[in-house]
Amino acid sequence: MSGGRGVTYAGGFRAGAAKAGVKHGRPERLDVALIVSERPCVAAAVFTTNQVIAAPCVVTRRHVERGTLRAIVVNSGNANACTGEQGERDAIAMAEAAAAVVGCSPYEVAVASTGVIGFKLPVERIAAVLPTIALTEGGWDDTSRAMMTTDTRPKVTEREVHLAAGTVRIGGVAKGAGMIHPNMATLLAFVTTDAAVEPSDLRRIVSHAADTTFNAISVDGDTSTNDTLLVLANGASGVSPKGSDLAAFDEGIHTVCADLARMIVADGEGATKVFEVRVRGAASAADARLAARTITNSNLVRTAIHGGDPNWGRVLAAAGRSGARVDDRRASVRIGTLFVYRDGAPVVVADADVRALFAADAVEIEVTLGLGDGHAVAWGCDLSAEYVRINAEYMT
């Protein structure tokens, strides 16, 4: 379910935010947030694969590898990326300032930043407002807004998972609207749970969830320097998922991540509609992922959907160049309920019927390859002139 308390839904978590004027000294918006657990958390994370990696990712990866975490401190308005050794010192200073507020070691603090690349982080302004943040169970909303950059709305979700051993809660918050593409995107996503999970189990679950959710969305084919998915498990429920319970918990984490991923696509910069691509019958699961993700990232597919153009051939062409094994003589393409290409041959359909399907707010595309049992799903959004305007004016 979307909405609710997000990162404070799970027991033992509090959050809050403040205005530090991070971007060009703008004092009117929330831009610094804290998420805090009452007890140490097992942590697992996935970061950007970009070789130009921001200082906060470097510092947070080090802290996650070192052991448990107690808090996340995050700012918007400045990415603290391409800032050299000073950037890493500033990220460490952010962790130290948050640790002083929380009453923990700086090594127990994760740091995240998002915003414009290549500018020195005003860490003094961030450190000055951290002690003013009221950490409450109701602070989830301010936290979700403080993370936003070009987002038009917060992205918050939660789930309660009933296990044989008891009930656990999972909540999440994310930001992201542009530079979204597989292999992590320009996103920050924080998920909290009160389950007691073994570190190795959590790492496996988080890696799988990232691969099938945040790595299966595309807005514009770009990725960034700061991308972070971080999951904290504090064990406050006293429930430790084992066996079949662990599988159910895994599904709960996946569902929360999928909710957030779809919200990011729906809020894509300039987007007017979203589309889901399902690939079935691929030679392998890897081939299915390649085909699905290439289709969602095709500018030709995305502009056709935006304009309601019945040029469905772009879908099959994108699959064919994806690197996946594709035999057009075996393939089928379905738009919504309407087959436009079946078993290697086009189906005679009225252009108006295809236009009507592409004109919907949500478009479903299924490609069946007839080569095996590999399957995958990916999500994308249309490409509009508004996307160009937003990114042409980003720094101003």
Positions marked active-site: 186
Reading the block at residue 145, the tokens are: 């807004």
Angle at 28 between CA 133 and CA 141, to 5 degrees: 50
Residue with tokens 């943040």: 133
Strands 166-175, 217-218: pairing is unpaired
- DSSP letters of 276-336? EEEEEEESSHHHHHHHHHHHHH-HHHHHHHHHT---THHHHHHHHTSSS---TTT-EEEET
Angle at 244 between CA 239 and CA 250, to 5 degrees: 75
How many other C-beta atoms lie within 10 A of the C-beta of residue 122?
Answer: 20
Question: Under a CB-based contact definition with an 8 Å cutoff, are residues 206 and 231 in contact?
Answer: yes
Query: In what side-by-side order are the strands of the sheet with 345-346?
Result: 217-218, 374-381, 274-282, 362-368, 332-335, 338-342, 345-346
How many other C-beta atoms lie within 10 A of the C-beta of residue 109?
Answer: 27
